[in-house]
Amino acid sequence: MAESALVPNDQAFEENPFKEIRKRDGRVVPFDPVKITDAIFKAARAVGGSNREIAENLTVQVIRHLQKTGYNGLVPTVEEVQDAVEKVLIENGHARTAKAYILYRDRRTRIREAKSELMDVVKEILVETNRENANIGNSPSAKMLQIAMAASKKYYLSNLLPEEFAAAHMEGYFHIHDLDYYSKTLNCLQIDLARLLREGFNTGYGYIRPPKRISSAAAQAAIILQSNQNDMFGGQSFPHFDRSMGEVIREVLKEKPTEDDIFQAMEAFIYNLNSMHSRAGAQVVFSSINLGTDTTEEGRAVTRAVLEAFYRGLGRGENPIFPNLVFRVKERVNFNPGDPNYDLYRLALKVAARRMNPTFSFMDSSFNRQYGDEVAYMGCRSRVIGNRHGPEVSAGRGNFAFTTLNLPRLAFESRGVQELFFVELDRMLRLAARQLLHRFEIISRLRVRDLPFLMGQKLYMGSEKLGPDDTIGEAIKHSTLAIGFIGLAETLLLLIGKHHGEDEEALQLGLQIVDHMRRRCDQFSDEYDLNFTLLATPAEGLSGRFVKIDRERFGVVPGITDKEYYTNSFHLPVNYAISIADKLGIEGRFHRYCNAGHISYVELEAPPLHNIEAVDRIVRCMAASDVGYGGINFPIDECRACAFSGVFSDSCPQCGSSDIRRIRRITGYLSTDDRFNEAKKYELRNRRPHFMPREGQ
């Protein structure tokens, strides 16, 4: 703060004509000049000032300015006093202090607005649970969780995030996923089940010894998923469920189970994952299990039992929602007649034709082949394999966090100029990388005792040698930091007038954009020595958030903001008429670039219950298209009154009940459509079935 020519004037304080001031909420309170002095001095100290006397002199000027501008005899408002402070600071040559004061004032304004917005959100949640996550119910505990999440988001945006990151998120340039957990924990994990069952574990209230029977092993597996979900905000997965359970049967169990024992245990495992709640009772676990390539007798028996139990369904035949089954497809293991697990592949087709699960991962795709059958996926599409700091395996590793770019926003602001688009894309990629680093540095300072199951029970690679008071940075360096993207189809429409399903030039530009993002992520990996990856984002609440912000800013643009959602990642628009083969042929070209995760779906009109060969043709078309991970979608309607299942409209054709459970897939996982948010409900209504491939394709 520069020296002032003013002389202290205590008498001016004493003669202050203002006795009251009006607060923003309308309350009238005593006018205290010391508070003006405190605010000025705080701003001065922010730029190196240390003379409070100058702040007192400036306060006198503020009071005189208010007198001159006609407030004598009136009650000034807080805003009017703050305007006077800014004017006096600038007129007296304190530009740097004025800037600091303005920034402070702006930040306080945002904090107040955040509090006001939070109260509005809380009111809404108390009526109906927020639908950003289709796995959260409408129970009292779910409402409490959502209120806590909303409060956390507002706190982080107003108090923790640097201004540039908070602004980019709020203005819709990118989206920081799971912002409510920003400084608390990390995303997801592929769990080494065999080790935990072999050694035992502790959930916080005592040691759980290794199981003696297969039923206990299956129950403990469900407990492990539930316990770790409470330490993380994302999904939980077993990367080699068949192999792990096979090892446990051979090496840990005291009694060798029969085929029926294994089936009963796997059926109970599925029941548990559809009923055991985590997150304070708000939701069941986001669970996935990978299986299909273990050729041992025990591993095959586990895979068969899981598939058969899934096919039978829950107690009245209801479709299981969890776990998400991921069946690994691999040549010379299960994909062709004569392969040792070919019978299990055929059973997987049968189950998928009825239940929409399993989805299929392809170990022979160009980017997975080098890892054998090591690559594991989660239902949301996450994939973690490359590692700069240790073995390239899935077990013990997961995605740290991800941030998604709004590609259509960059196209809007580039006004169709491709060169400018790539300049803006680079700028936002760099900003997203820096934001992920900021989050990584904060989480790295957590201690093992802050994540008692995840780190305390040594689930994360690199946590084996850490003590309770050690920080977790040495472990989470094995994770991936993912930059995601949404709306490639809309971006191409803005840049070139057509999307990548309509035009070869648009397809080539789309590939160029995604390749560019992947190369930048690889460069960030080298620059920061961390595992930066590119994600084909599974947008749920986000798909509607971006388009709403952009519509307010750019108006209603046909094909872009005239609907309630942006198209997921590199996918073709859901209402675009195209054959299955053509869709997979186009989308399959993008999978290789998205090393943090990818998926392609095909949509059918109804469950292909009696056409297993058609399902086989779809899966083989996925493999031929270099797809890494794929799923088959169709409607499943179930009557809650009589348990009849099929595809029907208003009421059950068997008993006439209108109490219908409608199961659809959203962002990789199954859910009932009453849990979809409004954007996803619009997208669901727009989905168009794809043409089935002919035999021989």
pLDDT value of position 63: 86
Max mean pLDDT range (77-86, 307-316, 663-672): 307-316
For 626-654, the pLDDT digits (tens) are 999 999 999 999 999 999 999 998 899 99
Q: How far is CA 554 from CA 91, 395, 413, 551, in A?
A: 39, 45, 9, 5
Rounded to an integer, what distance in angstroms lies between the CA atom of residue 61 and that of residue 40?
12
pLDDT value of position 505: 98
pLDDT value of position 695: 61
Tell me the HSE value of 663 on the side-chain side, using a 13 A CA sphere.
22
Q: Residue 153's beta-bridge partner residues?
A: none
For 297-311, the pLDDT digits (tens) are 999 999 999 999 999
For 208-222, the pLDDT digits (tens) are 999 999 999 999 999
| pLDDT confidence tier of residue 23, bands split at 50, 70 and 90 | confident
Number of Cβ within 10 Å of residue 76's Cβ equals 19
Q: Are 475 and 455 in contact (CB under 8 A)?
A: yes
For CA atoms 160, 126, 280, 543, give the dihedral sign: negative
pLDDT value of position 6: 41
Q: Which residue has the tokens 């108390």?
A: 126
Q: Say if strands 636-639 and 645-646 run parallel, antiparallel, or are unpaired.
A: antiparallel
pLDDT value of position 141: 60
| pLDDT confidence tier of residue 5, bands split at 50, 70 and 90 | very low
Q: Are 52 and 37 in contact (CB under 8 A)?
A: yes
DSSP 567: P
pLDDT value of position 104: 73
The answer on pLDDT for 280 being more than 90 is no
For 232-262, the pLDDT digits (tens) are 999 999 999 999 999 999 999 998 999 999 9
658-672 burial code (b ≥16 CB/10 A, e <16): eebbbbbbbbbbbbb
Rounded to an integer, what distance in angstroms lies between the CA atom of residue 681 and that of residue 112?
33
Mean pLDDT in residue range 404-411: 97
The answer on pLDDT for 680 being more than 80 is no
For 26-74, the pLDDT digits (tens) are 778 888 889 889 888 888 888 888 888 888 889 898 888 888 876 656 7
Q: Residue 294's beta-bridge partner residues?
A: none
Rounded to an integer, what distance in angstroms lies between the CA atom of residue 220 and that of residue 513?
45
The answer on pLDDT for 8 being more than 70 is no
Rounded to an integer, what distance in angstroms lies between the CA atom of residue 517 and that of residue 426?
8
pLDDT value of position 3: 42
Tell me what percent of the residues of the chain surpass a pLDDT of 70: 89
Rounded to an integer, what distance in angstroms lies between the CA atom of residue 176 and that of residue 165?
9
| pLDDT confidence tier of residue 116, bands split at 50, 70 and 90 | low
The answer on pLDDT for 110 being more than 70 is no
| Average pLDDT of the chain to the nearest whole number | 89
pLDDT value of position 138: 56
